[in-house]
């Protein structure tokens, strides 16, 4: 019996979806090709995990993101990233045909930035879409669930991005390569921001990202000027200060909400950080001024 996962094959729509992550670096999650009907639309929608890149083969339509509407046509690509509300619609007279790839991984930002995408630029030109179309067709052809096909699909994904990056390099005459360490730091910051309430450990963070602990620490310091541990404390203290002023929660609950099981340890660090106890700060009317001190993080802080 043929083993497939989320595979659709019709005359106007071919799609492969629900693929499992095969690499923390960069991994295909879904892909497809569609000749859209006039006025076909998708959204408004917020994607939670994977980024999605559409490449327009022919026709036209428009893409809306951050309240801005962008008319698009053949030989352009538009990017959808997680946690952004987007909407796109095919033209009523010349509906577009496009391919798409959905992907995750800690190197996604690195690859996208080398294609020409930025925080404020979600659209690039693609002079020749045929090689990219062939990559997606090869991915769709490898729809059976086998280890060899996992490798084949991801090799085509890398080839897909290599084509885009090469195109961008030729157009921009870019000769330098973005320092990839910053990519790991960005992912570390995202992870800490999401999990600062938990008992974080640097080893767990390094394992999640997939790099060596000492490399993560040294790179974080190089990029941000502080260690991951200091970043975590800064974040926790900022959140704690807000909770003390904006809620009536007891000190021990505030401590727990920002990742400290021991309220005494929390109060000690808060006082070192701000120069006053949590209780005094809650009762004060003055704005806080951070007292920059070196902290004795051991053994009570888990990071």
Options 2.30.30.90, 3.40.50.2000, 3.30.420.40, 2.60.120.10; which CATH number does 7-172 get? 2.60.120.10
Q: Determine the pLDDT at residue 125.
A: 95
Residues of the chain with CATH 1.10.10.60: 181-283
Going by pLDDT thresholds of 50, 70 and 90, the confidence category of residue 138 is very high
Give the pLDDT confidence of 59-103 residue by residue, as tens digits. 999 999 988 999 999 999 999 988 889 999 999 999 999 999 999
Give the range among 15-24, 85-94, 138-147, 235-244 with minimum mean pLDDT: 15-24
Give the pLDDT confidence of 206-235 residue by residue, as tens digits. 888 878 889 899 989 888 888 999 999 999
90-94, 112-116, 293-297: range with highest mean pLDDT: 90-94
CATH of domain 181-283: 1.10.10.60
Output b/e per residue, 273-290; b: 16+ Cβ within 10 A.
bbebebeebbeeeeebee
Beta strand pairing status for 97-104 and 51-58?
A: antiparallel
Taking the C-alpha atoms of 185, 187, 190 and 194 in order, what is their torsion angle to the nearest 10 degrees?
Answer: -120
Q: What is the DSSP string of 29-92?
A: EEEEEEEPPTT-EEEEEE-SS-EEEEEEEESEEEEEETTEEEEEETTEEEEE-TT-EEEEEE-S
Q: pTM for the full model? A: 0.60
Residues of the chain with CATH 2.60.120.10: 7-172
Q: Which residues share a beta bridge with 58?
A: 97
Q: What is the DSSP string of 217-282?
A: HHHHHHHHSS-HHHHHHHHHHHHHHHHHHH----HHHHHHHTT-S-HHHHHHHHHHHHSS-HHHHH
């Amino acid at each position: 019996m043929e083993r497939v996962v989320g595979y659709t094959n019709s005359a106007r729509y071919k799609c492969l979806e629900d693929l499992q992550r095969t690499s923390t670096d960069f991994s295909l999650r879904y892909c497809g090709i569609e000749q859209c009907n006039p006025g076909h639309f998708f959204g408004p929608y917020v994607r939670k995990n994977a980024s999605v890149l559409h490449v327009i083969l022919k026709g036209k339509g428009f893409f809306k993101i951050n309240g801005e509407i962008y008319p698009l046509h053949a030989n352009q690509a538009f990017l959808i990233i997680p946690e952004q509300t987007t909407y796109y619609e095919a033209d009523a007279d010349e509906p577009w045909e496009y391919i798409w790839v959905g992907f995750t991984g800690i190197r996604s930002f690195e690859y996208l930035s080398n294609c020409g995408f930025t925080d404020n630029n979600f659209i690039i030109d693609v002079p020749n879409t045929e090689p990219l179309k062939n990559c997606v067709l090869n991915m769709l052809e490898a729809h059976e669930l086998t280890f060899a096909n996992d490798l084949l699909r991801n090799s085509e994904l890398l080839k897909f991005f290599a084509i885009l990056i090469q195109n961008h390099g030729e157009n921009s005459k870019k000769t330098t390569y973005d320092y990839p360490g910053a990519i790991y730091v960005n992912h570390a910051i995202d992870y800490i921001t999401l999990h600062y309430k938990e008992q974080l450990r640097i080893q767990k963070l390094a394992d999640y990202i997939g790099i060596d602990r000492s490399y993560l620490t040294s790179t974080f310091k190089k990029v941000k000027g502080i260690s991951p541990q200091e970043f975590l404390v800064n974040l926790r203290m900022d959140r704690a200060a807000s909770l003390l002023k904006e809620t009536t929660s007891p000190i021990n609950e505030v401590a727990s909400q920002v990742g400290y099981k021991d309220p005494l340890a929390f109060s000690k660090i808060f006082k070192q950080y701000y120069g006053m106890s949590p209780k005094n700060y809650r009762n004060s009317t003055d704005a806080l001024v951070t007292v920059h001190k070196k902290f004795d993080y051991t053994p009570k802080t888990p990071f």
